[in-house]
């Protein structure tokens, strides 16, 4: 049985839908060269008329791909965070708890060290992205196998296994950095800080496919996640296949977060803070929580990338630093006031 959405949830979704294009327009206009709305329209028109102006080149080759990639990655991370918080029944859960972020980071580090200075340009980016995606998926497979016993999978054990795999991946990554030369070490550090400067049509296409998969699949589990909030026993009593739900959700989140880390590096706190704030506003109903988190995550990451490009222009900050600087105060505030949000 489905129930109508509360008016507040519908209003928040509408506001987020309006905020998304406004944030995208602001991000396109901002940078080392500021563009007015008229200049943006003229630049896009010149590009389509095959007589690209300077503004047209800036918009179509540099800023628009970054803005679109930021929106897709932000939506993936935030919606995955909402799903993980529902699965773990913990509003402070994060997609990285299942080890996918640490595994992807280790995979990328291995790819960077293996390639060294011999591979440059597009081939290097592709190799690092492939290594990150493979590392994230492998880490999740190991975590899930460790948490599985017979026909059941313990969420608590999955959490502990994720912590262990994260620690192991971090130790191996530190070992690689210890033996790496200065150039390779710098490349690893910059990649881990997160960045959207590698946006191109191929990466956008991959991000769009993964985003469609995640945002198409996760809402289908809204009712089951709502039931899981009552507890696994209660969810089984309601006729939900809890083990299958866990497995499918973990796979979807692993694919989404692994792809996001492969495309943009490690971007902290989007998957933690965004769904938590949305939950405080509209409640825990995943029918609206997941799409609202996706919209808010897209807007947040576009805004963070805009700040990263503007605050020290013409130098660009890694966007992962900006999201951490934004997310940490929110996280500390949530911890200090956890009793008001029903957290123990």
Residue 142, pLDDT above cutoff 70: yes
Q: How confident is the model at residue 216 (pLDDT cuts 50, 70, 90)?
A: very high
- The mean per-residue pLDDT over the stretch 149-171 comes to 84
Residue 233, pLDDT above cutoff 60: yes
- The mean per-residue pLDDT over the stretch 308-328 comes to 85
Determine the pLDDT at residue 116. 61
Q: Which of 7-21, 156-170, 214-228 has the highest mean pLDDT?
A: 214-228
Contact 32, 309 (CB under 8 A): yes
Q: What is the DSSP letter of 49?
A: T
Determine the pLDDT at residue 124. 55
Determine the pLDDT at residue 341. 46
The proportion of the chain whose per-residue pLDDT surpasses 90, expressed as a percent, equals 28
Q: Which of 245, 205, 207 is nearest to 77 (CA)?
A: 207
Determine the pLDDT at residue 232. 84
3-state secondary structure 136-202: HHHHHHHHHHHHEECCEECHHHHHHHHHHHHHHHHHHHHHHHHHCCHHHHHHHHHHHCCCCCCCCHH
Residue 17, pLDDT above cutoff 90: yes
Contacts for 105 with CB less than 8 Å, ≥ 6 apart? 132, 135, 169, 173, 192, 261, 266
- Provide the total of helices (H) and of strands (E) in the chain, helices listed first: 15, 2
Residue 118, pLDDT above cutoff 70: no
Residues 293 and 105: their CA atoms lie apart, in Å, by 24
Q: How confident is the model at residue 342 (pLDDT cuts 50, 70, 90)?
A: very low
Residues 59 and 35: their CA atoms lie apart, in Å, by 9
**By mean pLDDT, which of 123-132, 289-298, 315-324 is the weakest?**
123-132
Q: How confident is the model at residue 343 (pLDDT cuts 50, 70, 90)?
A: very low
The model's pLDDT over 47-78, given as tens digits with 9 standing for 90+, comes to: 887 777 888 888 888 899 999 999 999 999 99
- The mean per-residue pLDDT over the stretch 128-137 comes to 85
Strand partners, 148: 153
Determine the pLDDT at residue 207. 92
Residues 237 and 7: their CA atoms lie apart, in Å, by 30
Q: What is the DSSP letter of 6?
A: P
| CA 276-326-271 angle, 5° bins | 40
Give the mean pLDDT of the chain.
85
Determine the pLDDT at residue 188. 82
**By mean pLDDT, which of 73-82, 296-305, 332-341 is the weakest?**
332-341
- The mean per-residue pLDDT over the stretch 103-107 comes to 89
The model's pLDDT over 249-279, given as tens digits with 9 standing for 90+, comes to: 988 998 999 889 888 888 888 988 899 889 8
Q: Which domains does the chain have, with CATH numbers?
A: 36-341 (1.10.3470.10)
The model's pLDDT over 30-45, given as tens digits with 9 standing for 90+, comes to: 888 888 888 888 888 8
CA–CA distance from 101 to each of 40, 94, 148, 149, 166 (Å)? 36, 10, 21, 24, 8
Residue 157, pLDDT above cutoff 60: yes
- The mean per-residue pLDDT over the stretch 82-102 comes to 85
Residues 320 and 301: their CA atoms lie apart, in Å, by 9
């Amino acid at each position: 049985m489905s129930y109508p959405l509360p008016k507040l949830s519908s209003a928040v979704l509408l506001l987020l839908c309006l905020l998304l294009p406004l944030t995208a327009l602001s991000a396109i206009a901002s940078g080392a060269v500021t563009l007015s709305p008229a200049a943006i329209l003229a630049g896009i028109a010149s590009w389509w008329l095959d007589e690209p102006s300077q503004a047209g080149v800036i918009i179509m080759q540099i800023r628009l791909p970054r803005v679109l990639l930021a929106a897709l990655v932000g939506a993936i991370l935030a919606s995955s965070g909402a799903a993980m918080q529902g699965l773990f029944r913990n509003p402070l859960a994060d997609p990285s708890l299942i080890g996918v972020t640490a595994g992807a980071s280790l995979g990328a580090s291995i790819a960077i060290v293996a390639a060294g200075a011999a591979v440059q340009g597009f081939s290097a980016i592709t190799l690092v992205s492939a290594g990150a995606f493979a590392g994230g998926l492998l880490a999740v497979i190991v975590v899930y196998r460790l948490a599985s016993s017979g026909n059941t999978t313990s969420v608590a054990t999955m959490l502990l296994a994720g912590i262990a795999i994260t620690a192991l991946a971090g130790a191996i990554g530190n070992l690689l950095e210890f033996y790496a030369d200065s150039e390779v070490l710098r490349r690893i550090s910059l990649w881990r800080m997160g960045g959207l400067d590698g946006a191109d049509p191929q990466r956008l296409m991959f991000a769009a496919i993964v985003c469609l998969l995640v945002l198409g699949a996760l809402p289908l589990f809204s009712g089951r996640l709502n039931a899981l909030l009552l507890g696994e026993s209660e969810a089984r009593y309601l006729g939900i296949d809890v083990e299958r739900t866990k497995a499918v959700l973990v796979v979807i989140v692993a694919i989404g977060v692994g792809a996001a880390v492969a495309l943009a590096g490690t971007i902290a706190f989007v998957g933690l803070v965004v769904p938590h704030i949305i939950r405080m506003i509209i409640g825990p109903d995943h029918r609206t929580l997941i799409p609202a988190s996706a919209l808010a995550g897209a807007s947040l990451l576009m805004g963070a990338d805009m700040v990263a490009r503007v605050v020290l222009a013409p130098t660009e900050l890694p966007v992962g630093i900006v999201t951490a600087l934004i997310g940490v105060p929110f996280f500390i505030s949530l911890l200090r006031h956890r009793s008001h949000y029903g957290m123990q």
